[in-house]
């Protein structure tokens, strides 16, 4: 065949389309016909196929391993959150989370802040969801649940205070049956996040997640939410967000959130 009449060589995108079965029928047949006259393209296709097969074999044993429970729960929580958000949008912006105030008696106390009881849709608590997912990811860890243990509490508090931009305190929850395990630094949408982890004698773990929020974030009193792998209470106070999460009943979490709030 005259070189002037040869079809143009395949582009990388066309070779990828063949490799990944992105084209079928006549379009695929046309590419394969052109490939017959494209020696360099055939070599690239063969090399990429071999590379993909080698990568698949490299970790093939992992394909048969079960998904870690924490990762599975976190993924399920994100999926359900997206499903809920889709329903909320269809329903015209109904409340995103189960909202619980402590009641008129609690709000009447001078020690409790009096904040709005409604949260607009635009301010839905991604912060609370992040806290719940972080809880699900790290609390199952046996050897490394935290970056800095309770044995170095002073260093832990100084480090996280510096990174979050606020002088932090670790609440004492011994009266509620929980001892500090330690803490870690995490990323967040508005900056650094701190996570403190606590554990009781039955091995149940509780986390306190906190960090600065955007200047436009409304200040709110306690909210109870199932938006994530585990339930929790969250609140915003002077531009700083707090979330107490754990696999506990609403009443138990409310008591723990109150204890945390009074010490911060």
Q: For residue 175, what are the contacts with CB-CB under 8 A and spacing of at least 6? A: 259
Give the whole-angstrom CA distance, residue 198 versus residue 248.
13
Size (the chain), residues: 264
Predicted confidence at residue 81, as pLDDT, reads: 53
Q: Where in the chain are the domains?
A: 3-63, 69-263
Pick the CATH number of 69-263 from 3.30.200.100, 3.20.20.70, 3.40.50.2300, 3.50.50.60: 3.30.200.100
Q: For residue 34, what are the contacts with CB-CB under 8 A and spacing of at least 6? A: 7, 8, 9, 10, 41
Could you give the 3-state DSSP secondary structure of residue 221?
strand
Predicted confidence at residue 61, as pLDDT, reads: 63
Predicted confidence at residue 114, as pLDDT, reads: 38
Predicted confidence at residue 97, as pLDDT, reads: 38
> Please, what are the averages of pLDDT over each run of 10 residues along the chain (264 residues)?
73 86 87 89 87 69 60 57 50 39 39 39 65 92 92 95 94 96 90 95 95 78 83 90 93 94 91
């Amino acid at each position: 065949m005259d070189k002037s009449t040869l079809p143009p060589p395949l582009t990388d995108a066309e070779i990828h389309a063949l490799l990944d079965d992105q084209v079928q029928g006549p379009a695929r047949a046309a590419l394969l016909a052109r490939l017959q006259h494209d020696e360099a393209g055939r070599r690239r296709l063969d090399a990429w196929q071999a590379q993909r097969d080698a990568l698949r074999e490299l970790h093939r044993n992992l394909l048969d391993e079960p998904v870690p429970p924490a990762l599975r729960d976190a993924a399920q929580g994100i999926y359900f959150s997206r499903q809920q958000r889709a329903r909320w949008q269809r329903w015209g912006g109904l409340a995103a989370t189960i909202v619980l105030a402590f009641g008129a008696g609690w709000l009447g106390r001078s020690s409790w802040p009096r904040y709005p009881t409604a949260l607009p849709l635009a301010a839905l608590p991604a912060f609370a969801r992040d806290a719940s997912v972080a809880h699900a990811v790290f609390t199952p860890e046996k050897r490394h649940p935290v970056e800095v243990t309770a044995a170095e509490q002073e260093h832990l508090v100084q480090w996280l205070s510096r990174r979050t931009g606020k002088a932090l305190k670790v609440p004492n929850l011994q009266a509620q049956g929980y001892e500090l395990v330690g803490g870690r630094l995490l990323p967040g949408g508005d900056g650094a996040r701190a996570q403190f982890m606590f554990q009781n004698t039955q091995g149940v773990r509780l986390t306190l997640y906190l960090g600065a929020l955007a200047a436009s974030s409304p200040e709110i009193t306690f909210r109870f939410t199932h938006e994530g792998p585990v339930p929790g209470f969250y609140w915003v106070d002077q531009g700083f967000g707090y979330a107490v999460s754990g696999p506990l009943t609403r009443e138990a979490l409310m008591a723990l959130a109150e204890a945390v709030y009074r010490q911060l």
